[in-house]
Structure formats: structure tokens, C-alpha cells
Structure 1
């Protein structure tokens, strides 16, 4: 029985952080709600404490035990003060409107200082709304501040104790999530071997989206590692270094996964041996499967077992490739095979506890011990041009309008308007529009499902079961699918009101109206208050991406660059590319009148990502052998062209220099053909791919000089 329980714990909860998070919240609520109902027979106490648990769980961010203890202490103080102020001023509408505006603006702005305060202030704003919702059920003014804080404190105790029991658990979760994303990326990319041209656009779009998630996760890991460096004692730093090494490994494997050694449509058309291309696809799928296993081993602390089938596939592919030695694409395919073999070797080394590859082994991890999570000063945030300032203004105005509508139309539970605005509001118009759809659609489905379930479970125990199961499923789905999460939080609200006053079904229609109203206010605010359309961002994002790509490219062939600088340049190039891709993605959801230069933006985004993929392939093989002088000369010429592209995007390029560059790039094909005839130029093909895209970028840049001035 012990073994069965242990297996269930490992496979259901330890391998699935979302299940574990949901379990922590549900157990905390059950510990508070059930005694309140069965012993004290007071639903107000139980549901109020449950809301305190929810607010604290949604607002926790720190991954280090000491850091989480600090953030929990700050959150508890803010929760009590905010709830008290809300209760005191709520009977006086004009005064409360002022308090509401000041609190919302200051909390949003304070949340922009760092990630810790961002979570704490979000939870505090939830507490403000929860206090408004429960005001009419509270007999004494201090009941809600106390019970909400007690609920938040109870969850904090559970969460912090579990973290002290496994202090590196959350750091492992974030790294494991990164390896899972990388495995999903590789699995998607396997569909390109072989593939038809008409499906490649769809696959590349999916890859771009997955790469955004991967890059964001790598940045999250960076913030968490810096937090550990800041909070850890000197004796604990060697253990933190182990996870830095895994972070470096994740980035090195990302570079291998993103790299493109050739145009996929050319390979699919020109390589006659279809079994060989199928083999590359199968090898990538097996690497992805092994990477999932490795991510699970991080979560469970169980040794990673390298799949024997992966070793067999590598051996079989090497034999098949050797048979194609005289083929025209042998060199390209051999470089691709070396890249994939490198991924397999990375995983195999983890099985034997070899913690780093030859590049990251040269890193002095101690230099990262002084790094701290990024922080902004209030002076920086108090600038109307700063996105956080604009976000605070939009939300504050939406809350004031929502509160005014609540008073004017006498909405009893009108605080849900504020709740919806808080949840729906995102930094961009497109993200807000998408979240609005998920919220409204999920609420409608939740009302139908919730009323049905409430009728099937009419007893007290049935309503408690419904409340606990719905909050569990809400937290489980929150990071996976927000529409599904919205369904279950609506059921949770219905069950809570059934416990309070047996009026769960009665409040569902007002909830729908308030949800639509709050969502509409959020939409209108982000649409008309300082609208920040993506076409305005594209020139700056494109310029940044080209500059970072050039710096990354130069880091590869410039032997004087340190490994730390190389890692930084590579990561910032990936982040710049993802920012550009995200802007293009969000542009498609904006009003048609605001999608300026959509086709041009699509071409530039694709070219930049192709450039990054080819540079990544070049970077993968940077340590394999020295570049010849002719290869170095070509690299410098390509770098000059990329520098000229960035100057053209800022209208600082000389017209004669542009014409000279075009004449030089027109000679590249002949030059590279000659280089590839010499076996000493083994990476000429990789450089040619970079040069080819750089030339196309030069052409596109010439066509858009001055285009964005409007």
C-alpha cells in the first residue's frame, strides 16, 4: 500500500506541478472551511478564509524559501491594511472612489518594481475586491480583514513548510518546464523531415509560438536563479551552481534545436533517400521523448535513464548517412547529424552525472552569484511613457467607471465588474481581447454547468465537495487553459454563495452581467486610452532584433569573446526575435485599420527568424574546428551588411554605401561556390545561408526606409 501511495504521489503530483499547486490550495481551504461549517456552522467565516487562500495562492511568486517568507509577510500586511481601509471607507461612496483610485494606481505601479511585488500587489487587489463582495455579510468591520488574512496565512504556512522540506523544488519545476517546452519544440520540428512546402508555414508558425514560450521560461529560470543567488547562504551556493549548469544546458540545447542547417523544402525535394529524412524525423522524436524523461527526473529526484532505443537510432542513422557520402547534400546532412548527436550526448552525459558540455564547462559560475533579479525604481515607473504607468492609469479609470456603474445601477454584487476588469486587463490590446473572450465564454459555460451540479448536490456536504473540487480544477487549469479555468472559478463562486445564503443560482445572472460589463470596460480602456498599436513597435523591435542577431553572429567567429558574453548575446538575440514574433502575432488580432504594413511585417519577421536559425546552426559548430581565412572574411562582410541594415532602419545609411553593399552581395554566390570547392571551408554552406538571408534583409530594408514615419 505504501508503494502504491508513493507511486501515485510521484506520478500524479510530483511530476505535475499544476496538480501539486491545486492540491496545496484545496487542502488549505478544506482545513479552514470544513471546521467552520461543521463545528461553528458559520459559512461566512469559512468562505472568507477560503478567499484569502485564493488571493495568496494567486499572488505568490518567490521560489526560494527565505524569499517566499519575505513576500508572504509583506502580502499579509498589505492584505490586512487594504481590507481594513476598504471596509472603513466603503459606506462613503465619494471617499471610497478616491481610495479606490489611489490604491489601484499605487498597487499596479508598485508591482512594476520587481516580480516579487508584482505577485503581492495582484493578490492585494484581489483582497480589495473580495472585501467589497463580502461587505454586506460581515457583522463587524474587522471580521473580513482578520478572516481574509487568516486564510492567506494558512496557505502561506502550507506552502512555505513544503518549500522548506524541498527547498529546490520550485527551481526544479521551472527548469523542468523549460525542458518540456524544448521537447515539444523538437517534436514539432520533426514534422519537417520530410515535409511538403504547403504545410511548412503552419509548422513554422507553431514552432515560433513554442519558441516564445521556451524563451520566456528561460528568462523565468534566470530570474529564479538570481533570486536563489541573492537569498542563499555561502554554503548553499555550490548546490545553486548545479542548477545554473542545468540552465546553461537548457540554453545550449535550445540553440541546437532552433538551428537550421538548410532550407527544409530544399531537403525534402532534393534528397532522394526518403528513408534518411524520415530517420532524421524519428531521431528528433526520440530525442524529444528522452528530454521529457529527463525533465521528469528533475521533478522526482529519480536518476535519469537514457533510452536504449535512442542509442540504436543514432547508430542506425550514422550508418545510413555514411551510405550517402557521395551525395550532394552529404556535408549539410552530416552537420545536421552532428547537431542531433550533440543533443543525444547532452542527455547521455546527464545519465552519467556529467553536468556540462565542453562550452559551458569553461564558465565561471561564481560570477553569477552577485546577480540580482531585475528591478525598476519608482522614478522610472512614474513616467507617462512607461508601459506600467499607462497600465496603471487604464486600470484605475476602468475601476472608477465600474464603481460608478455599480452605484448608479445599484448592482448588489457589482464588485465583480472590478474583478473582471482586473483579470481581463493585459498589457496589450490583443492580449486583453483574447482574455476577454476566454473569461466571458468560460463564465457562461460555468453558470450552466454549475447550476446543473448544484441541483445534483443540494446538501451541505455536496456543496462543500463542489466548492473544493471546483477550486482544485481551477488552479490545475489556470496555466493550461484559461477558458476551462474560468468555468471552474464560476462554479466555485456559485457553491460559495450556496453555502452563504443558498442563493448561488440567483447571483449567476448578475455575475454574467457584471462579467460582460467589466470586460467591456477593460476592452474600451485599452482600446482608447494610450492605445499602443503593434505597427508602432515594429520598427524598434526589428532594429533591436537585427542588432542583437549581428552581435550574436560576431560572437561566434570572434575568438576574443568570453563564454559568458556569448551566452548573454545568444539569449538576448533569442529574446529580441521572440519580441518581434509576438508583435506580429498580436497585430493579427488588432483592428484592421491598425494592421499597417502587415505583409511587410510578416516578411521581415520571417526573415529575422530565419537569420537567427541559421546563425544558431553556425553557433552549434563554433567549437568544432577553426574557420579558414576566407570564411572569416565572408563573416565580416555579412556582419557589415547587417550593420548597414540597422543603419537603414534608422535612416542613417549613406546611399553610396547601400549601392556598394548591393554590388558586393551580388558576388556572394560565385564566391561561396568557389569556397565550397575547397574542403578547408567546411562551414561555408552555413555562412552562405546567413549571407543569403542578410542579403534579403538588405533588400527589404531598402524598400521600407521612411515607411514607418507615418
Structure 2
């Protein structure tokens, strides 16, 4: 049967919806909310609807990705935390002073609990939210049954938790497939951005493009870390994975290798453009990498749709064309082209190997291991370990502690504002404060604006729908649908998500009291008050300006790159091995680079009067990311080389570079004080020149290593200069 264009579009839309994890998340919420609504309607217990709904929402917010056993354990911990918080708040809710103290204590304690790990961070945030849900429900409830509100909240939370556990049992590996699809999609975006550096245009603004690359690299690293945790939660200790799990594990390792190869740099891009301006060879490099990015995007779509993926021949032909173009230039015999063409040849080998990895990713991967499958588990192993992580954050330089104190102070101010405006129903001031008070200034101000806009939109739409659909049955359906929309949009479209949850509250309130119109004006006023309190708290209570931390974050990035370099150099003498130590060093380097990129992004969102180190922060991000690119190129080509261990200049220069980068990191932490006796910048440049001269008399394989190490050594002088300036500005 022939399908029309519209049918294809509709089917494509359904495929995309089915392939989005948020839509499946929302499906569970739909069943949970719909079930709670249906039970209340059928039994005549509509006054119980709001706490049941709020329990479902809190439980859904606390959900973490895990296998069904881990999800069950987390659910039990969540319910225990919810019970502790809910019954405690119910006891003190009618005493303004005790309620404020309890709420601030819960907010501080559970925020600090987030130091234990990502899983506990989600549970902690949801527990604080449930504390406010308890206060709201108790204040609005007309029930005389003791402890009814906490029990209903826990029933709603347990109901959603049961659905979540059953879902994990039925679709245990689906999150892995969706996560890998997202990972390869992010790799595709990174490749396309990296390909833009190969434009043979003189004077290309490489610095701005490298900043964009660093930000894109951070997104890839974030997804890699999420995938590692998902794989860890589904692998059994001491057992080799098999079947589809092994397939996904191998795809993850291939993505790691692709990421390392794509993040490699083999030469100065502007020098390539100047020296090879009249050739199309850089266009051919750009075409190969761009096509490989398209392949990653298509592989991501195939994973989402659970369809086999077969590669075309476009990339293979493009690689042949690139190699022919390089060979043609080599035949010209021009002296000024010798060094850039050697780097191009290394780049061509890297792209060819990268393409082989993409070919491997499209084939069967569930029958053999591609290497060491050990993954580093960073989760807390015991209560002592968990407490040690919390204790490590108990100092004023800790961003987590500062956020916990700031949030508690903002909630205390919110309690005062509630008592002054609407002591009985002003809990939305506290909810707004809790949701919009983020760890950084930029994120907080953005959330304040989005929260106010979303609330106003939700109230407007709610008023219109109440007029259009006065029937309670239709309003119940709207409430359930609004709750589902909230969970689909709450992370990516916060304005729409806020509007949806506002609409849901209006409809539920009308179901239980019939007085939804009375809620519209107070809800908007409370949102404005909560937003203002959060913004003021961000400015006055232990503000965590990123400019003050830039030197420490940069120090971590440089030190992690040095450790990565040392690990790579050892493999040129001992042989290539993708063991756990190597992968941890590589991950730490990319994590630190991503943290530096995030810090600079957050710095640019802060008020102009509070910004410090913007210029030097941008420069050190570019230099640090470029250094990581050069080191990644060494990692991409690593392998045992005959003569590498005996080459004195190679080993001494590599060790000098590692020590110098550690010295730069130490100087950044010590605000510009370099240790005496270390090589100066001129000595490091001389070492780079010596490496390039020595490379001319060595075999081709060793020559590429020496030239790449020379590029790394040339990063020392500018890094020393920028580190000194960054530390000097930090002292002011």
C-alpha cells in the first residue's frame, strides 16, 4: 500500500515520539495520574486527589535510572525519606516557627546528602519538595482522620514507584539504547562543529570555534558519564555481559574511541590554511569528517527506531579522494609543505581508523568483547564512604554547602513572607523559592523569569479552560494531561512545564473545592514573591561567583591533561592497552575540561559588576582545550613503537612537559607562585624545536609522535603566561 507524504510525516512523528525517553517517562506518569484520578472518581474520595497526585509527582521527580533491583532499593529508600519528612512536617505545620526551622533543616540536610551521588541528589530534592507538598495539603485539607495526608502522599509515591519498578523489569535495557542514541547524536554534532575548523580561510577565528568545541565536548562527556552509570547498574559483578547488554557495552567503548579520535588535533588549523591555501585538501578533510558525523546521526536514529543500519560508500570514497589529494601534494616535493603534509597524513590515518570504528559499530557486537570491560564505579560503597563525601563539602569554599545555606535562608525568608501575606495558603511562595533557587546565579535568574512567565501562562490558559469546560469530568482529564505535559517538558521547556503544572493544580483544586478562580491571583502574586526572594538570596547569601573559582577549575583541567599525557606516553613504550587506568585518566581529563567550559559559561551569565577573569578565562579554556586535543591525538595513534623507550629526547621531553603542566596547575591553585628550578618558557620552546629537528632523522612512525609532542610542548609558554595573569587577577 502506498503511503502519502502526510502519512510518512505522521509515522515519522510517532517514531520520534516513541524514541524519546521523556515520552516514555510521561507514559508512566499518565498511568499513575490516570489511575489515581479514576480511583478517586469511582470511590467518591475526590478530596484525596491532590495529595495522591502530589505523591505521584514527588516520586516521579525522585526516579533514577537503574535495573529493577536497584530501582526497588532506591524506591524503598525514597519512601523511607518521604515518610520521615512528611510525618515530621505534619507535626509542626501549625507552628510557624517550628515549621520554618524544620523546613530549613530538611532543605540543608537533604541538599548536603546530594554529595553522596547523583542518585541521592534526586531523592534529596524530591524529599524537600514533598515537605512542602505535605504543608500545602495539610493546610488545605478538611479531613479529620489523623495522618491522612502523609499516608496519601506515600500511597501516591508508592503507586508510581511500583509502576517504575515494573517498567524496569519489562524494559530493562531500553534506557541503554536511548542513551546510546543520544550519545551518537551528540558525537555527530561535535563532528560537524569540528569539521568547520578545516575551512581553508585565512584568519579564521579559531579561538571562538574552539570555545564552541569545548562546550560541545562537555555535552558529549556528560552523556558518556550517564551511559557509564547506566551500564554499571545493569552489569553483574564478576560476570561477563552477553547478548544485547554486551552489544551496548561495545557500542559505548566504540563511542569512547571515536570521541578521542574526533577530539584530536594534529596541527595548527590557521597554519594549514595559510600553507595549503591553493589546494582543496582541507575541503576534503572537512567532507570526510562531516560525512562521518552524518553516519553517527543515522546510527543514532537507527538505535532509536530499533532498525538495522547499513552504511553507504560515500565516506569510503571521500577517504580515498583525501588520500589521493595528499599523495598529489607530496609528489610536488615542496619543502614548505613537508611538515603540514606529514600532519595531514597522520590526520588521514586517524580518520580512516575512525571510519573503521563506525563500520564496526554498525555490525554485530554481541558475541565478543572488544577489550577490558571493567568500568570505574564511583558510587559510595558504605555509610562511612558516604559520610566522608559529605564531610568533604563542609567548608565555605564548597559550592554545595553555599547552595545549601542559600536555599535554607531563602526558604526562611519565604516563611516570613508567607506569614505576612497569606499564612494559610501561601505555600506557593516556598515552592517557587525551592524550584527556582539554583546553584548558580545565571541558572537562578533564568528559572525566575521562566517560572513567572510559565505561571502567568498556565493561569491564563486555566481560566479559559475553566470557562470553556465547566464539567468536572473534562477538568479531570485536563488535569491528568497537564501533569503528563509537565514531565515531558520540565527539563527542556521549563516555561511550558511550569504552565502545565499550574494548570494541573488549578483543575485539581477545582475538583476538590470548586473555587479555582480564587486561586488565580494569589498564585501569581506568590510566584512573584518567591522569585524575588530567590534572586535576592542569590546576590546576598554566600554568592558563588565563578570568577573566584576560575583559577582552581583551570588548575584541575591542566593537571588532568598532564596525567592523561603520562598515561599515553607509557603506552608508546609498553604497548596499547585500553585498560581501566587509561580510560579513567582519559575520562578525568575530559571531565575537567567540561567543568572549565561550564564555569566559563556560568561566568558569562553573571552580573557585569561581579564578572572577573572573563578574558583570561576564555584564553585558558582555549589553551587547555587545545592541549587536550593535542594529547588526544597522541592517544588516538598510541601503540608500542620500536625505539620509543630508547629515545632519550622523547622520554625526557615528555616527562618535562608533564612536570611543567603540573607546575602550572600548582601555580594556578597558589595564585601565580611557580616553583623554583623549573624550566622557563624559552627552555620549553627550545625543547619543542629540538623535537622537530630530531624528528627529521627518525622513522616515520616515531616522527609523528615527536612532532605531536612538540605541539604539546609549545602549549607550555602560553599556558604559563595565561595562568600567571589569571592568578594575578584573582588576587584583586
Determine if the TM-score, normalized by the shorter chain, exceeds 0.5.
yes
Distance 1:123 1:339, change over 3 A: same
CA distance in 1, matches of 2:553, 2:163: 43
Superposed, which structure 2 residues align to 1:133-144 within 5 Å?
A: 133-135=136-138, 136-140=140-144, 141-144=146-149
Which residue is 2:294 aligned to? 289
Which residue is 1:113 aligned to? 116
CA distance in 1, matches of 2:603, 2:727: 21
Superposed, which structure 2 residues align to 1:109-508 within 5 Å?
A: 109-135=112-138, 136-140=140-144, 141-194=146-199, 197=203, 200-229=206-235, 232=236, 237-238=241-242, 243-272=248-277, 275-326=280-331, 328=337, 329-354=340-365, 361-363=370-372, 365=373, 367-368=374-375, 372=379, 377-378=386-387, 380-382=389-391, 383-385=394-396, 386-410=398-422, 412-508=424-520
CA distance in 2, matches of 1:579, 1:18: 26
Q: Contact 2:242 / 2:366 at 8 angstroms: preserved in 1? A: no
397-406 or 481-490, which deviates more:
481-490
Which residue is 1:618 aligned to? 634
Which residue is 1:685 aligned to? 707
Q: 1:29 aligns with which of 23, 26, 33?
A: 33
270-279 or 328-337, which deviates more:
270-279
CA distance in 1, matches of 2:189, 2:712: 26
Shift, 1:314, TM fit = 3.4
Q: Contact 2:200 / 2:283 at 8 angstroms: preserved in 1? A: no
3-state DSSP of counterpart to 1:248: helix
CA deviation profile, 1:293-324 (whole Å, cap 9, x unmatched): 33344445543433444444434444444433
Q: Contact 2:242 / 2:367 at 8 angstroms: preserved in 1? A: no
CA distance in 1, matches of 2:378, 2:445: 37
What are the ranges of 5 or more consecutive residues in structure 1 without an aligned counterpart? none
Q: 1:675 aligns with which of 673, 677, 695?
A: 695
Q: Contact 2:68 / 2:172 at 8 angstroms: preserved in 1? A: yes
TM-score, normalising length from structure 1?
A: 0.89
Q: Contact 2:221 / 2:594 at 8 angstroms: preserved in 1? A: yes
Q: Aligned Cα RMSD in Å?
A: 3.3
Which residue is 2:719 aligned to? 697
Distance 1:96 1:306, change over 3 A: same
Distance 1:702 1:206, change over 3 A: closer
Which residue is 1:662 aligned to? 682
Shift, 1:242, TM fit = 5.1
CA distance in 1, matches of 2:266, 2:511: 62
Which residue is 1:63 aligned to? 66
Shift, 1:671, TM fit = 5.3
400-409 or 137-146, which deviates more:
137-146
CA deviation profile, 1:79-105 (whole Å, cap 9, x unmatched): 344333333322222332232233222
Distance 1:397 1:344, change over 3 A: same
205-214 or 157-166, which deviates more:
205-214
Q: Contact 2:261 / 2:633 at 8 angstroms: preserved in 1? A: yes
40-49 or 249-258, which deviates more:
40-49
Shift, 1:273, TM fit = 5.5
Q: Contact 2:64 / 2:122 at 8 angstroms: preserved in 1? A: yes
Shift, 1:703, TM fit = 4.5
CA distance in 2, matches of 1:202, 1:707: 22
CA distance in 1, matches of 2:677, 2:194: 42
CA distance in 1, matches of 2:353, 2:99: 62
CA distance in 1, matches of 2:423, 2:404: 25
Which residue is 2:621 aligned to? 605
63-72 or 86-95, which deviates more:
86-95
Q: 2:562 aligns with which of 547, 550, 557?
A: 550
CA distance in 1, matches of 2:543, 2:17: 42
CA distance in 2, matches of 1:685, 1:474: 54
CA distance in 2, matches of 1:200, 1:454: 55
TM-score, normalising length from structure 2?
A: 0.87
Q: Contact 2:200 / 2:272 at 8 angstroms: preserved in 1? A: no
Indicate yes or no: 2:661 matched with 1:642. yes
